[in-house]
Amino acid sequence: MIIVHHLNNSRSQRVLWMLEELELPYEIRRYERLRNMLAPPELKRVHPLGKSPVIEDEGRVIAESGAIVEYLVNKAGGRFGPPDADDGMLRYRQFLHYAEGSLMPPLLVALVLSKIPIMGRIAMKRIQPMIDVHLDFVEGALKERQWFAGDDISAADIMMSFPLEAARARAGLERSRPKTVAWLTRIQSRPAYKRALKAGGPYAYG
């Protein structure tokens, strides 16, 4: 059985969602953030980085959301993997990596700035235009199709869920981006998503 080392209000929520979609059996080991929002030191006993998500399966310890998602796609025989068409496969790979490689970093900066009263608000005026470029790019991609890679939901959508949920909570995603808001409504209406929320416990972005 897959063990998920699950940190509250973190990227590990989307791992639970994917496991529910794939109907793979799993067990949750829970961790709570410290007051400074960092992960507790107990996670370093699982993986040297001391971060979540981390899964254990068949003697392997796997970190990094993208690597975990790809591992689960393979374990499930390709379900939630890329479309067969070349263009769909390219979009799949692009958004699978874009979620953490490009979209999430400025959102993390925004989170840090939100903790700094006056100077944070001033600095945010420079960061927000950078975030808006990404959110407009995402909106444009979803004007062409309902899902990021093609006609059906895939692991690319799973990966995009956390940064876009975070963007709605703290980066003005809902301003003139109806396609992205509709996509968020679709994913959060899925039975597997709801089961994952129940399994994972309180989640600030759901």
| Residue 43 DSSP symbol | G
Domains in the chain: boundaries = 2-80+192-200, 86-190
Pick the range with the lowest mean pLDDT from 112-121, 139-148, 195-204.
112-121
Q: Hey, what CATH topology would domain 2-80+192-200 get?
A: Glutaredoxin (3.40.30)
Task: Report pLDDT digits (tens) over 14-73.
Answer: 999 999 999 999 999 999 888 777 788 999 999 999 999 999 999 999 999 999 999 999
Looking at residue 47, its pLDDT comes to 94
Alpha carbon of 34 to those of 41, 42, 68, 151: distances in Å?
Answer: 9, 11, 24, 40
The torsion defined by the Cα of 176, 179, 181 and 184, in degrees rounded to 10, comes to -160
What is the value of pTM for the model shown? Answer: 0.93
Residue 102 CB contacts under 8 Å (≥ 6 apart), including other chains: 134
CA–chain centroid gap for 73, Å, is 16
Q: What is the pLDDT of residue 167?
A: 93
Give the pLDDT confidence score for residue 172 in this predicted structure: 85
Q: Give the C-alpha separation, 196 to 206, whole Å.
A: 10
Looking at the predicted structure, is the pLDDT value of residue 206 above 70? no
Q: Which of the four pLDDT bands, split at 50, 70 and 90, describes residue 111?
A: confident
Strand ranges (E), the chain: 2-7, 26-31, 54-57, 60-63
pLDDT tens per residue across span 127-183: 889 999 999 999 999 998 999 999 999 999 999 999 999 999 888 888 889 999 999
Statement: 86-190 belongs to CATH 1.10.10.60: no
Task: Examine the pLDDT at 120 and tell me if it is beyond 70.
Answer: no
For the cut 80, the answer to whether the pLDDT of residue 126 exceeds it is yes
3-state secondary structure of 202: coil
Residues with Cβ < 8 Å from 88, sequence gap 6 or more? 82, 149, 150
Nearest to 55 by CA among 71, 78, 77, 37: 71
Residue 116 has pLDDT above 90, yes or no: no
Half-sphere exposure of 169 (CA within 13 A, CB side): 16
Calpha distance 40→19 (Å, rounded): 24
